């Protein structure tokens, strides 16, 4: 009986991991590939550099950029020429005119990907929005906006959950080491994260944890309809999860695992949020422990695999979390962004007037400019300094950052400073000029 259940479970896992399901969903949504580079002239699938390959059940290391053999280059060149002829013959000029490439190249290999055709532009823009809800641009916009204009109390605790969810998700990827869905049959609508491992989907994890925790932390603290909050949280989660399948980045199994894994982390950490936030704000040794903990977690994650974008992202997330936790401590002792007394709860959302909207936008624009300037200045200072300290040539910045000695302190210091400035320096300056 137990053996039959185990076999059935394994079959279900293989079924959910099948890239054909991803390809069918893409076709249903109007995504059609034009790439024949992945097939040789005799119909045998070729190997695309930059993808994580899985042969015989064992996942191998990522192939470095430019690692194609001469034979592969000749085959790819022939296949590309055939692709152009086939597209022109089968699809006509109109189809050729609608063919596009992924918006961003692969962040590790520089691969720009192959052309594909979008037959439903509404779904393309919708799922592009959904996938951006799990990218750096969203995080550096959403969290500061919420801190400066809505509720610093909620944002502090939300960041704690986000850091743990993303950290555990990235580390789990580098332990399991499952490849991305195979292409073909999947169309790679996005290439940026294509060199990272696939299981679980950290987009699905953040797309589940952020809206869920946002609802749990605000409902009862703010007055709004229960159905509205639940609807927004569910819509957010579904949009992000489906967007990763649409982009060809994850299998259905990756998404389900990320969703369930995120729920588990939220259930475990939610009761501890009060303790963690109070410790960060009030304990005299909090700054030392915050720095030590986040550095230690970063060092551990850097031992899990060879260099990849996921390692840098993990250090970046830990640095941001450390900076915001340190800012919480500073703000508490300076009385900046104080939490409203319990007698004022639940809070009522203010009336949306042109003046309020203009003030929120002004805070956001000025604050983001400060954060972008902080990031630019710290990157310009930190990378050469760290390279000099460890004797690593800094001429090729991209190559230098692949050394752990450079990547960890660079990401940690830069984004730690950005996090500190987001919750402390920017509100402090706003208070000085009367914008709070």
Residue 203 annotated among the catalytic residues of the structure? yes
Q: Alpha-carbon Rg of the chain, whole angstroms? A: 24
Q: Out of 14, 21, 49, 250, which one is annotated catalytic?
A: 250
Angle between helices 202-218 and 152-176 (to 10 degrees): 160
Q: How far apart are CA 139 and CA 389, in angstroms?
A: 31
Backbone phi, then psi, for 275, in 5-degree steps?
-65, -45
**Which residues are registered as beta bridge partners of 195?**
none
3-state secondary structure of 137: helix
Task: Tell me whether residue 329 is one of the annotated catalytic residues.
Answer: no
SS3 of residue 54 by DSSP: strand
Per-residue DSSP letters for 328-346?
A: HHHHHHHT-SPPPPGGGPS
The residues facing 117 across adjacent strands are 32, 99
Q: Is 43 left (phi over 0), alpha (psi -120 to 50) or beta?
A: left
What is the phi/psi pair of residue 97, to 5°?
A: -70, -25
Tokens 């390959």 correspond to what residue?
53
The active-site residue out of 14, 21, 49, 203 is 203
Known catalytic residues? Answer: 203, 250
């Amino acid at each position: 009986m137990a053996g039959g259940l185990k076999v059935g479970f394994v079959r279900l896992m293989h079924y959910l991991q099948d890239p054909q399901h991803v390809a069918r969903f893409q076709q249903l949504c109007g995504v059609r590939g034009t790439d024949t580079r992945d097939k040789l002239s005799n119909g045998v699938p070729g190997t695309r550099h930059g993808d994580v390959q899985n042969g015989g059940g064992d996942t191998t290391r990522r192939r470095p950029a430019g690692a194609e053999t001469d034979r592969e280059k000749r085959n790819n060149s022939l296949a590309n020429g055939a692709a152009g002829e086939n597209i022109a013959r089968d699809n006509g000029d109109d189809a050729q005119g609608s063919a596009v490439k992924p918006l961003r190249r692969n962040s590790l290999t520089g691969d720009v990907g192959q052309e594909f055709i979008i037959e439903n532009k509404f779904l393309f823009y919708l799922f592009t929005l959904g996938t951006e809800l799990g990218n750096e641009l969203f995080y550096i916009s959403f969290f500061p906006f919420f801190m400066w204009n809505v509720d610093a109390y909620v944002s502090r605790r939300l960041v704690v959950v986000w850091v743990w969810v993303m950290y555990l998700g990235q580390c789990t990827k580098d332990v399991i080491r499952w490849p991305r869905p195979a292409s073909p049959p999947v169309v790679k609508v996005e290439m940026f994260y294509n060199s990272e491992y696939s299981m679980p989907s950290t987009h699905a994890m953040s797309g589940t944890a952020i809206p869920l925790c946002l609802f749990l932390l605000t409902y009862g603290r703010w007055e709004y309809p229960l159905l509205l909050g639940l609807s927004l949280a569910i819509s957010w989660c579904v949009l992000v999860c489906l967007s990763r399948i649409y982009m060809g980045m994850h299998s259905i199994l990756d998404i389900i695992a990320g969703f369930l894994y995120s729920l588990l982390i939220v259930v475990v950490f939610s009761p501890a949020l009060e303790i963690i936030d109070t410790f960060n704000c009030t304990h005299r040794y909090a700054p030392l422990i915050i720095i030590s903990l986040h550095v230690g977690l970063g060092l551990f994650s850097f031992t899990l695999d060879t260099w990849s974008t996921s390692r840098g992202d993990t250090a970046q997330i830990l640095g941001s979390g450390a900076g915001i936790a340190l800012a919480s401590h500073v703000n508490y002792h300076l009385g900046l962004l104080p939490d409203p007394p319990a007698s004022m709860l639940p809070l009522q959302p203010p009336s949306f007037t042109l003046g309020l909207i203009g003030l929120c936008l002004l805070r956001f624009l000025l604050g983001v400019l400060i954060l972008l300037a902080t990031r630019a200045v710290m990157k310009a200072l930190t990378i050469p300094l760290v390279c000099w300290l460890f004797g690593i040539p800094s001429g090729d910045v991209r190559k230098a950052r692949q050394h752990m000695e450079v990547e960890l302190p660079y990401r940690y210091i830069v984004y730690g400073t950005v996090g500190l400035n987001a919750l402390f320096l920017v509100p402090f300056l706003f208070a000085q000029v009367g914008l709070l």
